[in-house]
Structures are given as C-alpha cells and as structure tokens.
Structure 1
Amino acid sequence: MNQHQPLSERSEISGRYTEGGITVIVEIFRPLAGDDWQMKVTSLEDQVTEWNESFASAHEAWEEFIYVVNTEGLAVFL
C-alpha cells in the first residue's frame, strides 16, 4: 500500500459548525473498505466526542449531530 494513501474516506459534510459563539469540528468518515460511517466531534479546546454506533450514511450521521445540537445544545461537546 502507498504510505500516502488515506486509510479512510472523509464525508463532504464534515467541517466546522458554529452556533451561539461555540465552534466544533464535525468529522464523518468511514474506512476505505467499509460501508458504515463513523462520527467524531472535536471542540476547539480538543474535547473529543466519538459515537460508539455507526451510521448507514454520512447524511444519517449529520442528522444525529443536528439532533443532539437541537436537543442538548452545542455546549454538550465542550
């Protein structure tokens, strides 16, 4: 394997999300040989929240992130 070849595919949905003055980095990704998507949210203070479950699609992972933001607030990731 080429050592410069990525081991995972990053979703285009991944990126920074800001609300109420709080910014987090949402990473939605899957192994190159895999079907299920994983999600990790990192605060600018390096607090990391990883989901234990996987998602059938990147969109499903994003919907879960938005659900948590809408029900618990973005501060839950700090």
Structure 2
Amino acid sequence: MNRYYLPDSATPNRVRVRAAEMIGDVAEPDAIDPLRNHKYGNDILRKKVEEAISRIHEKNFTRECPFCAEVVKMQAKLCKHCGQEIAGQ
C-alpha cells in the first residue's frame, strides 16, 4: 500500500490542492502510479498533481518511459521494463 495519498473528495478543494502541492516535495517515485491513475474531478487539482509528479521526477532523477510509462532513471538509454530505446526521448 502506498503511504502517500490525497484527501478524498469529501475534503474541501483548497485542502486537496494544498496536499497535491506538498506531495511533490515528500513523495518517492512509487507514488507516481497511484497519483497518475486517480481520477480528479477538478482541473486545478489535476494540474497540481501533474506538477507534483514532475517535482518527484526532478528530485529523484527519473522519468517515465514513453512506451510503457514505467519509471526509469533519467540517464537510462534503454527502458529496463520494455527494452525500448529511450535515449533520445
């Protein structure tokens, strides 16, 4: 189970947006899939989550494979999950 989560939809939006802003500073790459796969009904919240995911990648020197969407190291030339060449991506 992932230890990072955003408050549920019963929580006021301002609290959920603030949580999305903060999670990018504290979360590890294992939080990316749950954050990306959740359905957000609010465009502002969705944008903040995307920014948080970008900060997680920056902090951990990772990125997502454009072919299989798995998290790989920034310096990787080949995806360790699907074997595709990602050096120029």
TM-score, normalised relative to structure 2: 0.28
Question: Highest relative contact order (Cα 8 Å, sep 6+), 1 or 2?
Answer: 1
- The structure richer in strand per residue is 1
TM-score, normalised relative to structure 1: 0.31
